[in-house]
Amino acid sequence: MSISKERLLQRIREGEARVGVVGLGYVGLPLAVEFARSGLTCTGIDVDPRKVSAIERGESYIPDVPSADVQALRAAGRLSATTDFSVVAELDTINICVPTPLRKTKDPDMSYIVSAVEKIAAHLRPGMLVILESTTYPGTTEELVRPMLEAGGLKAGTDFFLAFSPERVDPGNPTFNTHNVPKVVGGVGAESTELASLLYGAAIETIVPVSSPQAAEMVKLLENTFRAVNIGLVNEVAIMCQKLGLDTWEVIDAAATKPFGFMPFYPGPGIGGHCIPLDPHYLSWKLKTLNFYSKFIELAAEINGSMPEHVVKKVGDILNDDGKAVRGSRVLVLGVAYKRDTNDVRESPALDVIKLLAERGAKILFHDPAIESLRVEDGAAYKRSPLTARILASADCVVIVTDHSSYDYEWVLRYARRVLDTRNATRGVKTHAERIARL
Ligand SMILES: NC(=O)c1ccc[n+]([C@@H]2O[C@H](COP(=O)([O-])OP(=O)(O)OC[C@H]3O[C@@H](n4cnc5c(N)ncnc54)[C@H](O)[C@@H]3O)[C@@H](O)[C@H]2O)c1
Q: What is the mean pLDDT of residues 427-438?
A: 93
CA distance 185 to 197: 7
pLDDT of residue 104: 85
* 398 pLDDT more than 90: yes
Which residue has the least CA distance to atom 11 on ligand 1? 134
| Per-residue pLDDT reduced to its tens digit, 23-48 | 999 999 999 999 999 999 999 999 99
- Which atom of ligand 1 lies at the shortest distance from residue 29's CA? 16
CA of 346 to the centre of ligand 1 (A): 12
Question: What percent of the chain has a predicted confidence (pLDDT) above 90?
Answer: 93
Active site residue 275: yes
377: confidence class by pLDDT, cuts 50, 70, 90: confident
Give pLDDT, residue 172.
81
Split at pLDDT 50, 70, 90, the class of 2 is confident
Residue 1 has pLDDT above 70, yes or no: no
Q: Rounded to the nearest whole angstrom, what is the distance from the C-alpha of residue 67 to the centroid of ligand 1?
A: 19
Distance (angstroms) between ligand 1 centre and the Cα of 398 equals: 33
Arithmetic mean of pLDDT, 333-344: 94
Q: Which atom of ligand 1 is nearest to the CA of 45?
A: 33
Distance 98 CA to ligand 1 centre (A): 4
In this prediction, residue 35 carries a pLDDT of 97
Q: Which atom of ligand 1 is nearest to the CA of 169?
A: 5
Q: Which atom of ligand 1 is nearest to the CA of 171?
A: 3
Query: Which tens digits make up the pLDDT trace of 138-176?
Result: 999 999 999 999 999 999 999 999 999 999 988 888 899
171 CA distance to ligand 1 middle (Å) = 13
What mean pLDDT is reported for the chain? 96
Q: Which amino acid is at 119?
A: K
Ligand 1 nearest-atom number relative to CA 27:
16
Angle between helices 67-75 and 28-37 (to 10 degrees): 50
Nearest CA to ligand 1 atom 13: 99
If you average pLDDT over residues 316-326, what whole number do you get? 98
Q: CB of 247 within 8 A of CB of 438?
A: yes
* pLDDT tens for each residue of 117-130: 999 999 999 999 99
pLDDT band at 68 (very low <50, low <70, confident <90, very high): very high
Is-contact 27 96, C-beta < 8 A? no
Supply the pLDDT for residue 100: 96
CA of 23 to the centre of ligand 1 (A): 6
Please enumerate, as own/partner, the contacts of 281-289 that have beta carbons within 8 Å and a separation of 24 or more.
281/102, 281/106, 281/108, 282/100, 282/102, 282/108, 282/135, 282/136, 282/137, 282/221, 283/137, 283/138, 283/218, 283/221, 283/225, 285/106, 285/107, 285/108, 285/137, 286/137, 286/138, 286/139
Q: Nearest residue CA, atom 20 of ligand 1?
A: 25
The yes-or-no verdict on residue 379 having pLDDT over 70 is yes
Over 90: is that where the pLDDT of 12 sits?
yes
Instruction: Extract long-range pairs of 124-127: CB within 8 Å, 24+ residues apart.
Output: 124/88, 124/149, 124/152, 124/154, 124/160, 125/89, 125/154, 125/160, 126/4, 126/154, 126/159, 126/160, 127/3, 127/4, 127/5, 127/7, 127/8, 127/92, 127/159, 127/160
Q: What is the pLDDT of residues 227-278, one digit of tens each?
A: 999 999 999 999 999 999 999 999 999 999 999 999 999 999 999 988 899 9
Distance 97 CA to ligand 1 centre (A): 5
pLDDT tops 90 at residue 225 = yes
Residue whose CB lies within 8 A of the most ligand 1 atoms, among 22, 62, 97, 136, for a mutation test: 97
Probe target for ligand 1 pocket from 22, 55, 61, 98, with the most ligand atoms within 8 Å of CB = 98
Least confident of 233-242, 314-323, 373-382: 373-382
At 347-374, the pLDDT tens digits run 999 999 999 999 999 999 999 999 999 9
- Per annotation, catalytic residue among 42, 97, 275, 397: 275
Q: What does the alpha-carbon distance between residue 100 and residue 110 come to, in Å, rounded to a whole number?
A: 6
Task: Provide residues with CB under 6 Å of ligand 1.
Answer: 22-28, 45-48, 51, 97-100, 112, 115-116, 134-135, 167, 169, 171, 274-275
